[in-house]
Amino acid sequence: MSKPAVSSPPIDLDAVPCCTPMAQDRVPAQAAGVLAQAFKALGDPIRLQLMSMIASAPGGEICVCDLTPAFTLSGTTISHHLKVLREAGLVDAERRASWVYYRARPGLMRQLATLLAVEEPAVA
């Protein structure tokens, strides 16, 4: 036996909302894909810590030689995590001699921060 189909009532798009929306605009599909990839990259605790170290580095950049000793992971594992951050568009990398320097990409970081910024609802 199958259950009878249950239909939802139609949604009145012109109705006054019951509460103030958290965001003013919906994120466009293409931007949502980029932002989702960035959030996914930051979903790993090691990558989140790396991103924090890179974003807060004096002078705006940090050498991989300063990142690696901060963790009990191998250099290749740290390099893998940095590659994920780079491919997600969160950081730029520049090779100088035998070292690679990383810096945060402020544009994408601002977009993430804007998306996460939620204003306190007005109390009636």
In this predicted structure, the answer to whether residue 75 has a pLDDT above a threshold of 80 is: yes
Domain range annotation of the chain: 29-116
Distance CA 120, CA 20 (A): 10
pLDDT in tens, 36-57: 899 899 999 999 999 999 999 9
User: C-alpha angle with apex 120: 119 to 123, nearest 5 degrees?
Assistant: 140
Q: Of the spans 31-35, 84-88, 120-124, which averages the highest pLDDT? A: 84-88
Q: CA–CA distance from 105 to each of 29, 99, 110, 115 (Å)? A: 21, 19, 9, 16
pLDDT in tens, 82-102: 999 999 999 999 999 999 999
pTM passes above 0.75: no
pLDDT confidence of residue 103: 96
Architecture of domain 29-116: Orthogonal Bundle (1.10)
pLDDT confidence of residue 35: 86
pLDDT confidence of residue 117: 77
